[in-house]
Structure 1
């Protein structure tokens, strides 16, 4: 199922939505300084938060507007991690928006040894399964390394979210609201995972996950 295509009449509303969600994420400590970036799909390209911009102080008129080749059409220079978003959009036609954060608990998990690289956070709650599904861990790449875009592209067709080693999560959703909610659920589950790491846990089993897939028509 493809994401809703936004017309130019919707663009101002989407710009304001990026600003509002960015401010909310920043004020609640889910991103710090100029870290993190948000994007939304448009009819003929996409909007992305600019480079070196705090998500807490975005200007809707200065958001980067890019075409599908990644070329800047309008606004300030884009985040240097634009290729992460583009790789995810290319593989996920249902993605209407993408959230990339350096949120504390998710980033902490991304630094741990001994994780399952195919499924790095266990299905501790049904909400994690419903919003994230299986979360692969990508090996470390330096910030701005184009090879990371290829690595994300190889996984994005089957995964709505990925965790970048020693970095943080990249999460897609059908809308910006959905992507933000999923990123928040990932952060809360990462917090639970860290809190429970020294005690036995009982994640959801295969039958319980299958029941969720059926009940909520999940594609995970």
Structure 2
């Protein structure tokens, strides 16, 4: 996809995310790998509601900024996913979505597998979601924490902060992020009600059938 088409797609998806209340104010950021190995990145302090395609930060394949406004301060987080997941990461989406953040602050949330297997689609699109500890926004240590996962997870939840999801395409990353938020909502709605989870055999069937990363 050309740079121009990617720019338009980033702004279109971002506006949709904002319109549905999945992020707010100037929160959230998106990056997408370009055809020449560079990156397009949403600017720091920008609102998903009003992104300008021409002002997205542009980086070349060597990581040098070649145009646009200053990028999100979460660049170390994005870079960590690209560096550790290789071709499996064509885009990264980070939100401050309400239910995901709520799940991240509850002591009973399993840090090794944030989402219980309530639906097949959360397993298919996300695999196991790891809970990472709290870091100050923009702290390079967030990137180091993602690197420590050695590319084994496509999605993480930052404590007191929000979800980060990598996928091969922008559309896939957006859809997976939305799936994480909806599953977090379902988790909170059914907590204490003894929901019927997918069995281990059912989960493993999904893992095998759809080549899901499940460590």
Q: TM-score range by the shorter chain?
A: over 0.9
Offset, 1:203: 1.7
Offset, 1:44: 2.8
1:32 paired to 2:46? no
1:187 paired to 2:181? yes
Q: Which residue of 2 aligns with 1:71?
A: 64
Q: Secondary structure at the match of 1:21?
A: helix
Q: Secondary structure at the match of 1:155?
A: coil
TM-score normalized by the length of structure 1? 0.92
Q: Which residue of 1 aligns with 2:7?
A: 15
Offset, 1:198: 2.0
8 Å Cα contact 2:153-2:213 kept in structure 1: no
8 Å Cα contact 2:128-2:213 kept in structure 1: no
> Aligned equivalents of 1:24 and 1:218: distance in 2?
27
1:102 paired to 2:99? no
Which segments of 5 or more consecutive residues in structure 1 lack a partner in the other structure?
Answer: 1-5
> Aligned equivalents of 1:177 and 1:208: distance in 2?
27
Offset, 1:156: 5.3
Q: 1:112 aligns with which of 101, 106, 113?
A: 106
Number of corresponding residues: 212
Q: Which residue of 2 aligns with 1:158?
A: 152
Query: Deviation string for 1:157-185 (max 9, x for gaps)?
Result: 11000000000000011100000000010
Which segments of 5 or more consecutive residues in structure 2 lack a partner in the other structure?
Answer: none
Offset, 1:70: 4.3
1:56 paired to 2:56? no
RMSD of Structure 2 on Structure 1 (CA): 1.3
Q: Which residue of 2 aligns with 1:3?
A: none
